[in-house]
Structure 1
């Protein structure tokens, strides 16, 4: 049975952390197109069901998966680079938000600290949210500091974070754990909003409660999501958003404290 929002009825978050692709921004189709272009660039055919397996996966991991499933392991790095290049070109031309995402974010803005935890490169997230007019609502953007399994050298993810901090991509819990910490709340007091099982796993491992959004995954398995809704424009989501009065300084804080997290 699909978990409903009723599971969160007696609880209110102290912060909300959003995934970007497929949750805030309608970019999954861009990733799908980019994967198709990358496959064609190297004369390869996408394996059956690859789109579902690749959903929410870091682009470096996706490049490896593309190479492994086409029996071309030596092309992993080249496929990953081609994938990212094609995606950046596509998203720059067509930055669309998911249904209800803009309204939901604006309803929460000023009431709660908001952050983004994404597997995408920082420039993709910043550009997408900026072009959609949403970047100013988020205090923090957290992305991985290096490719999965090969973290970049020590670098800060925020001006208050230790320089040696390394943030691994989803499904590791790092991006969500870091986002909650930067928002100043314990993980269990934060709500993650996710569209993929990879992201749900990451948020759950970090200790956040999770609202899944979008079409149900194949087989109806919602993983560790506390609740799942078809879209953020549904009445039960917008109606809650999120049961807290706006603080006198809330709007100023939401718009005046945009920490650029160089993760």
Structure 2
């Protein structure tokens, strides 16, 4: 859906779960540069359209994809390692938030449980959010753990207890909603990539897409797309549909009101 009237704007969630790269932090360009540097180190170049195919993909799967598209499967491990090393160097030097992200997070903080569900390594997410002074707003950070679904001997259909699979599997969003104490259909995911939208949709969350709306069919799995998180629609939505918890003064006033009308 587009930024026209959406049922999402008439709804109040019990928790909000954010993607990190490209949604909270302006790091997608770092991933693109890291992919280019990793390929260049082995005398390779990204294939046309590779940046879009790799967007939102777990870095281990991205390393495998780079090796496959270069017809160099033997370089999968080396490319994956180089990709992560280059990315961590770039993001440490330039931690920048996406337009409106910090303001939107702060407007929700204290009103609802907030979490992050990311395909990035935990240390990358923690460092990025800490440098942006956003870490304290999130109760939980969920990232993939354990064996990737395409690892040798892994069953892609299996759900192993304690293992959180990367997006587009639903695990990170399902886990984040549960940790926030919200049933999936009562939680909102905020995403910029089709990989992430697919993950949240499969987990049963409602989805807010951010950025240019992709033309692919799966973009329709988002309930609403906005150009950026400083959208006036979102400011109005927070004001009208995400009330602040009642403070001591409010509770006293409510009690007196009940006493007067009792």
TM-score relative to the length of structure 2:
0.87
Post-superposition CA distance 1:24-59 (Å, at most 9, x none): 000000000000000101100110000000000000
CA distance in 2, matches of 1:235, 1:55: 27
**Contact 1:200–1:225 at 8 Å: present in 2 too?**
yes
Q: Shift of the alpha carbon at 1:88?
A: 0.1
CA distance in 1, matches of 2:8, 2:79: 41
Alignment match, 1:246: 244
Alignment match, 1:100: 100
**Contact 2:23–2:191 at 8 Å: present in 1 too?**
yes
Q: Give the 3 Å change call, closer, same or farther, for CA 175–219 of structure 1 in structure 2.
A: closer
- 1:212 partnered with 2:195: no
- Which secondary structure state, in structure 1, belongs to the residue aligned with residue 17 of structure 2? strand
Q: Shift of the alpha carbon at 1:191?
A: 0.2
Alignment match, 1:120: 120
Instruction: Show the 5 A alignment for 1:47-196.
Output: 47-149=47-149, 164-196=161-193
CA distance in 2, matches of 1:34, 1:220: 29
Alignment match, 1:259: none
Post-superposition CA distance 1:95-137 (Å, at most 9, x none): 0000000000000000000000000000000000000000000
- 1:230 partnered with 2:227: yes
- Which secondary structure state, in structure 2, belongs to the residue aligned with residue 241 of structure 1? helix
**Structure 2 unpaired stretches of 5+:** 152-159, 249-262
| Number of aligned residue pairs | 239
TM-score relative to the length of structure 1:
0.86
Post-superposition CA distance 1:139-166 (Å, at most 9, x none): 0000001352268xxxxxxxxxxx9411
Q: Where has structure 1 moved over 6 Å in runs of 4 or more?
A: none
- Which secondary structure state, in structure 2, belongs to the residue aligned with residue 133 of structure 1? coil
CA distance in 2, matches of 1:178, 1:249: 30
Alignment match, 1:261: none
**Contact 1:25–1:97 at 8 Å: present in 2 too?**
yes
Q: Shift of the alpha carbon at 1:5?
A: 5.5
**Structure 1 unpaired stretches of 5+:** 152-162, 251-263
Instruction: State the superposition RMSD in angstroms.
Output: 1.9
Report the structure number with the largest CA radius of gyration: 2
- 1:46 partnered with 2:23: no
